[in-house]
Amino acid sequence: MKNLAMMAGAVTLSLLGTGCATKKYVAKSIAPVEQRVSGTESKNQEQDKTIASQGNEIQELDRDLSRTKEKLNDTDNKANQGIQAAKAADQKAADARQAADGAQQSASNAKTFAEQGLDRLGRTVDGMNKFSMSKSETVLFKVNDSRLGDDGKQALDELAKQATSMDRYVIEIQGFTDKTGNAMYNDQLSQRRAEAVARYLTNQYKVPVRNITMLGEGYAQPVADDKTRDGRKQNRRVEVKLWVPETTSKMATAGPGQQ
């Protein structure tokens, strides 16, 4: 635009300088140039407005783009937060499953332990009601005599010590004779021999009478030939048996760590 104005000025100066041009001619010659200059200036102004408008649009687009980026960033942040929350929820669910599995295992173990305990208790109660022989001793007597000898007392000492170390026990005492004499007398003699053993246990070891059963059986169950002297000696006897609950007997047999 500046170049066109300079050209118009130059033409005007040239015409004025020659002195041969008339004002009409000058006006006629300059008018088209001025029109073109004016048109160019109008176009330039329109272009400036267009550029300014486009610049405003660009700025608005930039602002829209910035807002869009902010929204995207916010969306990304929320998405990340959602992912983290989902991971945390998954971890909590895994922990809950693990805790549930642990609780179930504990319950199963407790049930097994209880069942085993009930089974052991049942066996114990059953065993406490069933007795087995733990020890037996045979005490020999002289002919027509119911007094205890030293050998007999020594045998009873060992049995009594074992019995009194337990909470529950029964001592079974059976008196016998050889075939010498009549049956009634032998029954009475065998009873006196059984009573002598029971009296020794209660007096020397404080064995409760309720823990003792005794019976004189006379010549009922000979263990040897009564026709011989040695056989009759073996038949003049008191058999003493210590009975204890089966559970106690098994525990004593198993020993520590095997019960």
Domain membership of residue 95 (yes or no) is no
Domain membership of residue 241 (yes or no) is yes
Q: What is the CA radius of gyration of the chain?
A: 65
Domain membership of residue 168 (yes or no) is yes
pLDDT band at 209 (very low <50, low <70, confident <90, very high): very high
Query: Considering the chain, what is the average pLDDT of its residues?
Result: 82
Domain membership of residue 150 (yes or no) is yes
Cut 0.75: pTM above it: no
The answer on pLDDT for 65 being more than 70 is yes
The answer on pLDDT for 217 being more than 60 is yes
Residue numbers of the domain that contains 23: 2-63
Domain membership of residue 197 (yes or no) is yes
Residues 58, 142, single domain; the answer is no
Are 241 and 138 in contact by the 8 Å Cβ rule? The answer is no
Q: What is the CATH number of the domain that holds 148?
A: 3.30.1330.60
Boundary-marking domain end, from 63, 90, 111: 63
Residues 162, 244, single domain; the answer is yes
Q: Where is average pLDDT lowest: 17-21, 52-56, 59-63, 238-242?
A: 17-21
Residues 57, 143, single domain; the answer is no
More confident residue, 89 or 22: 89
pLDDT band at 256 (very low <50, low <70, confident <90, very high): very low
Number of domains in the chain: 2
Interval 91-142: pLDDT, tens: 988 888 888 788 788 767 756 765 665 555 455 445 557 899 999 999 999 9
Domain membership of residue 167 (yes or no) is yes
Domain membership of residue 105 (yes or no) is no
Domain membership of residue 92 (yes or no) is no
Interval 73-101: pLDDT, tens: 887 788 788 888 888 888 988 888 888 78
Boundary-marking domain end, from 12, 34, 63: 63
